[in-house]
Structures are given as structure tokens and as C-alpha cells.
Structure 1
Amino acid sequence: MINYIREQLQEFAKLQGDKPAINLVIPLQSFNLLSFLKGQTAAPCPIYPAIYWQDKKQQQTIVCLGQIESHHNIPSPTQQASYFGGLAFQQHGQQWDDFPAIKFIRPALEFILENQTMTLTCHFNGKHQIDKTLLYVEQLQHVSELSKIKSKIMTRTDSPTKKQWAELVELAIEYKALIPKVVLSRQTELDCTHKINHIDLLNLWQKANPSSFHFSFQFSEKHAFVGCSPERLFQREKQQLTTEALAGTISRGRNEREDHLLLQSLLTDKKIDRENYLVQEFIISNLKQLKAQVTHKEPYVMQLQHVQHLCVPINAIVKENTTDSQLLYRLHPTPAVGGSPKQPALQFINDNEPYRRGWYAGTVGYLRKNKSDFTVAIRSALISENKIKLFAGAGIVTGSIASQEWQELDNKIETILEVINHG
């Protein structure tokens, strides 16, 4: 494969010169992109950034390696450009190492599997030299077999602690007149016996919850941010926009009958209905402020391995001049991860949560001229050597009970804990 790609680039250079202004698209025989990415991250000199993306319907799987551009703002794609990256939960204050408030890259190499067809797009912008892309190609490794996790959990530290959580929930309810809903969250830090291979972890997580977005963003050897998120922020295809209000959670049942009863309770519970309605109202209102035509469908229950969520699909036709930047700033973060009203809820979180969310509950995805796709970065983990930070949140409204919300947090990280413990 490397020889073939090299030959294609060399022929392209003869036609387009040393710094092409257009991309080169090379058809390839299909292979497993997650196995391929594992091979690259295990290389003696790994290529960074290294990004994995799969949409929730598994129609598109992408691996990006290297970069020809890096931006700390939201770029506006033109022609053949693609940008991959994300926004932190809040765009102020200190952020995680490697994961600033906003970061997008235009990859050097973009491997795409779509409709069972594999291609490699070599990106060029009139400034990037073909020789630099050839250096990336020479560094490519063979696929590496995916395996079980060979590490066990030694210690677990929750922040906030269970006692601090109860106090936080009580405080949030005291503010109910000002903030009808605030989403509080917890970081669970695990110390493990051995270094965690984040690609193996993502593979097992993906198998446990296939109908989710799957992603991995690694900008250096220090950290990898991975996730298996059920929640779409938005997908835009030209002027057609798809989004959803995903809020309200209950556990799965121990048997089919109990599962069905819990599902029905999600559809009829007034507290959950209120929690979801605040998210719907926020999304629809913000889209209408951009002069979009908005419709929504009947709620349904999205079932995952250990939890089920109330979901209301929302569709819109946006104006031709509406930008992805406007959509990101309008819709992120929704009350599903922040609260309502937006600014008081975010301030409450900023003042009271004992850790930095960083890109957890932020948004990750990609931008193209005719299509963009973003997920809300929940059910996610920050991995470094033998440490894993897991994140989970719960919407606090009138009627919330701290112990039940704590259990919801545990339910939300149960899948990933099982993956680590049992592989």
C-alpha cells in the first residue's frame, strides 16, 4: 500500500508541482481502520495528530493522520477542505493539556470508509509540500490486531465525592428559581496496573454500544480523548440540519418486563419530561433565531447497554448563509449538558464543580463545505499511560434526589468499567 500511495503522490507532483492547491484522492482496498490506527499509535515514531471518527449509523469511518493546518478558532471550509476537532465545554479558563478551548486541524492524510468504499485523501492547500506528505506516508505502519485490555483497576477516586455530590445537588435545588435545570457532573479517576491502549478500549466500547458516535482525538503522546457518545449536537448536509434533544435517563431492566416498564416510565415521568422540554426549547429557539425552519418528531426511547434516554429528533432547514460557527456557538453547550438558562447554569458549574471538564461535555466532529457532523462529547474518557479519567453528568431539577442521581452517574460509566475489568 505504501509503495502505491508513494507512486500516486509522485505522479501528482509532476502534474501539480511541489505545493498543490487541490487534494489528491486515492482509491484503496478496504481494511479495518481501527486496527490500522492501532498500528500507527504503536509505531516507534507515531504520527500526530491521530484522529478516529465514526458516525452513529456507522455510515462513515475516518482516520486522520498528521496535519497541514492547525486552528484555534472555528475555520470556514472552502472547496475540498476538511477540518477535525472540537470545542471545550466552556471556552474560558484553564483547559486540559493538548485540548485548548477550540482546536481544529486539517489532516495531511484522511482515510475514509464510506458505503464500503475506502479512499485516502491527501490534503493540500497551496502551501503544504508534497515531500512532507511523503514523509508521513513513509512512517505508515501495518494494521495491528485489536486485543483485550491487559490492565486492571487498582484505585478509584471520585470528584466530587458522594458527600460533596449530595451538597452540590442540594445547592443546585436551592437555586431552582434562577436555574430550573443545571447538569452536574463527576470525574472518576482510575489508576490501573498497566498502560491502557486507548484503541483497544475504544474497540471494546464500540462493540458494547454500536449505535453511538465513536471517536478518538490524540494530538501528542501525552493524552488521548476517546468516547462512545449517543448524543448528536448536529449534522448539516448543505441546508438540511438534524439534531436532537437527548435528556432524561433511566437504567435498563433486569428482564424484558422490567425493561419495558422502565421505558414506559421515561415516556410518562413529569420530571423527565420537564428536563427534556428545556433542551428542546433551547435548541428550537436558537435555530429560529438563525431564521431556520424547524420541526420536531415524537419522543422515543434510545436504549443503550446500561441506560436508556428520552430523545426528541429535531429537523431544520437553515438559511444558505448560516455558518457552522454560528450553529456551534448557538447550540453548544445545550441544556442537556449545561443547564437552563444557559449562562447562569454555566456559571454555577464553573463556581461549584471541583474539577475542569475540558473537552468532556464539549463537542467534537468535523467541518466540510457541504457537510458537518458533531457529537456531544459525553460517555468519554481522557487516557494517559495507566490513568483513565471517566466522566458522567446528571440533570438536576426540582424533585431530583442526590442518591438517585449518583446512581445514574454510576450507570453511565458502567459499560466502560466492564470493558476495563473484563475486556
Structure 2
Amino acid sequence: MQTKSPVELLQHRLDSLSETGANGFVRLSIPCQVENLKGWLNRQSVYPRLYWQSRDAGTVEYAALGVVKAFGSLAALDADLAALAAMGGEQPDYFGGMAFDPGTSGWQHFPGCHFLLPRIELRRHQGETTLSLNLRFDDRCPEAEIAQARACLAALEEGQPLPCLLPHVYQREDRPAQKEWTAAVARVTHPDQLGHTPKVVLSRETCLTTPETPNPWALLARWQAGAADCFHFGIQLTPQEAFIGCPPERLYKREGRYLISEALAGTTRRGRDTQQDHTLADELLADKKNGLENQCVYQQLLTQLEPLSSQVQMGEAHIMKLRSVQHIRRLIHAELHHGVTDQQLLAVLPPTPAVGGVPRESALAFIRHYEPHQRGWYAGVVGRISHTSSDLSVAIRCAHIGPKTIRLYAGAGIVTGSQPDEEWRELDTKIADIMSLLGMG
């Protein structure tokens, strides 16, 4: 007797569901065998397509397709979370993110805020893979919901290996160019500016133009292989654009009322050998300029979290080592007051001083006036939110991929003592991994 496929088994369970009068949120799940989640995503014709894996070892790897419900504001997302929590039962995960500066015009196909409940989820955890179908019956016609779910299941394709990343020729343009960058650093470090804004994080957009666009999922897979200690994400809301990244920085992780955040700022390169690596790390911890940069971040995070928390504690400064760079990091633990929501946290925490500056509003005003490019979701927020837990990264070390273009972004915290040439080299170091994958390292 021929064994039914996971999709056929879900179709059968969907047929049975139509006879039960289900209510609220329903997730139908079937074990399945998928070798590569990104290869599976790449084969699908359904959009949006999302991939998410947290930085922590042993966490769930997610691939998601389609949309049951989408939210263009934190208020709408919070209302939906609360409504489903009040109904009880299993609670869904929402995936998405926010732009660095949601009130400004950004990237064409990436709104200022966008979170969604996907129709299809593929989850891998501890070697086990599950295919799930999500449905909602609390605010829509049951027959139409089941019909939409059935159509999405019918459109699923078998996964295949990702295509090879072929070498391409790229034309590079930096915005700002180095001359304009030097002028911007001089403006930030002018005594009159430092007097009211001690830190501004300036960024650069490196635009690579090529006759043929690399496959975003193949590029993410190659990048991910060398970035084990980072978050990994890929988002395609439409076929025209993709946003991928391997960011090292956590905005926050929440389990119930318990929250972990971090101040990740202050950077140096990796050494040629272990001895030089340790020496560079020690110099970084002792450096006044980098220490000030990190201090600006943790002081503002503490100030923002204290009104929302019954207890806040900060750990000691230590070094976080990545493939090309090492950073100063301090962990921050908080116990939130009862009833504090992700909407409240996301209203105050981003953009952190690690990607914006201090004070926030004057730093943002400087960035809006002087930066020649739109940051879009670069330095914004990407991740997963649910009623019980949330995990969100700061969207740095990323690539925005469009037709025949790849845009890379990097930023540097400019404070008193910052030198334009050193900061420019830091930007190149921060995009070194992805440049090497593209054959330009």
C-alpha cells in the first residue's frame, strides 16, 4: 500500500476539520522529511517566504510560507496576540520586522512595520522536522479559510538542493563615498555637535551591480555556514526583493516576564593568530573610545527597561568573537512588570544606541538629514513574536537583494576620538564575510 505524503495527510486532516466546527487558532502538524529548509523555500511559488533561526544553540529552525493574517502596526499585532491569548489553547508564532526609522520612506516592498502569521510552517528541532498548516476561525468565514488553506497546500513543491553560487562580476559604489564619509565624521565630532549628541552611528550603503542576481537562499546558506554564533534570517515579501542576514546582535529575548538584552558596541578586527587575537581583544576592552561607545548603549537600555521592570541587572563587559570582528558585549537581564507587552518593548527599545545614537532623537535627526541612502530594514528589527516568548535581532550584517543589485550595509558609532579612516576600515571589516562569499574579499 502506497504511503501518503505529508501534504496528503494534512489535506485529509483539513477535510476532517471542516466537519468539526473548529474555533480560534488551529495548527495542523505532520512529521516530514526535508533535507534543507532553505532549499525547500527556494522551490515554492507561494509568497511571502521567510526563514528564521535564533542565535542560541539548539533552537528551532523555521521556514514559513504564505499569510493567514498580516499586521502593519505593533498595536494591531498586540491586539491579535491578546485576542488569541484570551481564547486559550495553542498560541501561534508571528514573524517579521520593522524598519530602522519606520516613519520615513524606506524600501519599496518592505513597509515600516510588518509581522505576519504564516499559512505554512516547516520547523526543525533536535533533528525532527514538522510541517504545519495554520488556520484562523475567530474572524473569518470557515469555508473560505479552509479553501484558502487547501489551495496553499496544493501549491507546495518538493524541496531540492540549492543552486550553486556562481562567480559574478560586480560594479561597486559606496554611499557615502569616502570623501563624504570623512566630512560626516567631522560634523559629528565637532565640539558643538558633541555637546548635545555624544554619539551618532553613521552607516554606509555598498551597492553591488551585477548582470545576474545571485540566488538569495543559496547566498544565505553559504553565509550561515560561517556565522554559527549569529541569528539567521531571510525574508521575501515579493519575488522582486529579498532581505537576508546573519546579525550577531540581539535586541531582546523574552520568556514570559523574563527578558535578556545586550549592549553590543565597540569593535576591532580578529587577529592572525591566537596571541594577536587575545592582544586585540584586551586592547579593545581597555580602549576609551570603544568603552564610551558601549557605555552609551547600555546606559540607554537600562534607562528604557527600568520603568517596565521590577528588576534589572547588567553583566560585566566581555568579548564576543565573530568570524571577522570582535565586539564588546554586556548582557542585561530584566524581570518585567506583569502585563508588559512586546508592543511596549518595541515602542521604546529600537533603534538602540548601537545603531542610532545618543540621545536618540537628535541622532536620528542627524541621520535623516545627512545620510544619502535609505536604511530601510537595515538596523531595524527582525524575528519572532508570540504570547509566551519572543526573540528579536537587530538587523545588521545584512544584504538587501533586488533585480541585478545587492546592497550591503555597515555602521560605525562616531564619538569623540573617532578617526574617519579607521571607521571606514571598520565598515569594510563588517561586510568582509559577505564580500568574500561574492568573490570580492
Q: TM-score w.r.t. structure 1 length?
A: 0.95
Which among 323, 339, 342 is matched to residue 360 of structure 2?
342
Name whichever of 340-349 and 31-40 sits farther off.
Answer: 31-40
Equivalent residue, structure 2, for 1:43? none
User: Does the aligned pair in 2 maintain the 1:151–1:192 contact within 8 Å?
Assistant: no
Matches of 1:349 and 1:24, distance apart in 2: 43
Q: Percent identity?
A: 37
Structure 1 Cα separation of the partners of residues 398 and 13 of structure 2: 38
Residue 177 (structure 2) pairs with residue 161 (structure 1): yes
Q: Using the alignment, how far apart are the partners of 2:365 and 2:285 within structure 1?
A: 31
Q: Is 1:284 matched up with 2:287?
A: no
The one-character-per-residue Cα deviations of 1:193-220 (angstroms, maximum 9, x if unpaired) are 3221000000011011111110011111
Counterparts of residues 337-376 of structure 1 (less than 5 Å): 337-376=355-394
Q: What's 1:5 paired with?
A: 10
DSSP 3-state at the match of 1:280: helix
Aligned to 1:62: 62
Closer/same/farther in 2, CA of residues 30 and 238 from structure 1, 3 Å limit? farther
| Structure 1: unaligned runs, 5 residues or longer | 41-45
Q: 1:212 aligns to what?
A: 230
1:422: how far off? 7.7
SS of structure 1 residue aligned to 2:384: strand
1: CA distance, partners of 2:256 / 2:359: 30
Confirm or deny that 1:319 pairs with 2:337: yes
Counterpart of 1:106 in structure 2 is 117
Of 22-31 and 208-217, more deviation after overlay is shown by: 22-31
CA-CA distance at 1:35 after TM superposition: 1.8
Contact 2:136 2:145 in 1 (8 A): no
Q: Is residue 253 from structure 1 mapped to residue 271 from structure 2 by the alignment?
A: yes
Tell me the distance in 2 between the aligned counterparts of 1:125 and 1:2. 19
Q: Who is 2:239 aligned against?
A: 221
Paired residue type of 1:7: H
**Residue aligning to 1:53:** 52
The C-alpha deviation readout for 1:42-95, integer Å capped at 9, x for no partner, is xxxx11111100000241111111001111101121332322111110121212
Q: Distance in 2 between matches of 1:248 and 1:147?
A: 37
* 2:31 aligned to which of 17, 28, 35: 28
Cα pair distance change 1:177/1:268, threshold 3 Å: same
Give the TM-score normalised by the residue count of structure 2. Answer: 0.91
Secondary structure at 2:305 match in 1: helix
CA distance in 1, matches of 2:440, 2:15: 47
Contact in 2 for aligned 1:251/1:308 (Cα 8 Å): yes
In the alignment, the residues of structure 1 paired with residue 325 and residue 310 of structure 2 have an alpha-carbon distance, to the nearest angstrom, of: 33
Query: Among residues 138, 158, 165, which one is paired with 1:142 in the alignment?
Result: 158
For residue 30 of structure 1, report the CA deviation from its aligned partner: 4.1
1:37 maps to 41
Partner secondary structure for residue 57 of structure 1: coil
Q: Which residue of 1 aligns with 2:3?
A: none
How far apart are residue 290 of structure 1 and its match?
1.5
Shift of 1:270: 1.2
Cα distance 1:118–1:25, how it changes in 2: closer, same or farther (>3 A)?
Answer: farther
Residue of structure 2 in register with 1:73 after alignment: 73
RMSD between superposed Cα atoms in Å: 1.5
**Which residue number corresponds to residue 98 of structure 2?**
87
Q: Deviations over 1:285-315 (max 9, x none)?
A: 1000213411111122111111111111111
Instruction: For 1:96, give the aligned amino acid.
Output: W
Question: Residue deviations 1:7-64, cap 9 Å, x none?
Answer: 22222222236xx523123131342212211222xxxxx1111110000024111111
| Amino acid corresponding to residue 263 of structure 1 in structure 2 | A
The residue aligned with 1:117 is 128
Preserved contact between residue 70 and residue 105 of structure 1 (Cα < 8 Å): yes
Question: What residue identity is the alignment partner of 2:97?
Answer: G
Given that 1:157 and 1:188 are in contact with CA atoms closer than 8 Å, whether structure 2 keeps it comes out as: yes
- SS for the counterpart of 2:294 is helix
Match of 2:88 in 1: none
Partner Cα distance (1:268, 1:87) in 2:
34
Deviation at 1:320, TM superposition (A): 1.7
Deviation, structure 1 residue 245: 0.3
- Give the 5 Å matches for 1:175-186: 175-186=193-204
Q: Unpaired runs of 5+ in structure 2?
A: 1-5, 86-90
1:266, 1:416 → 2: CA distance? Answer: 24
Read off the aligned partner of 2:415 and give its amino acid letter.
V
Instruction: Say whether the 8 Å CA contact 1:98–1:223 is kept in structure 2.
Output: yes
**Cα displacement (A) at 1:147:** 4.0
Indicate the residue corresponding to 2:19 in structure 1: 14
Post-superposition offset of 1:148: 3.2
* 1:268 equivalenced with 2:299 (yes/no): no
Letter of the structure 2 residue corresponding to residue 158 of structure 1? D
Instruction: Kindly provide the amino acid, as one letter, of the partner of residue 9 in structure 1.
Output: L
Secondary structure, aligned partner of 1:67: coil
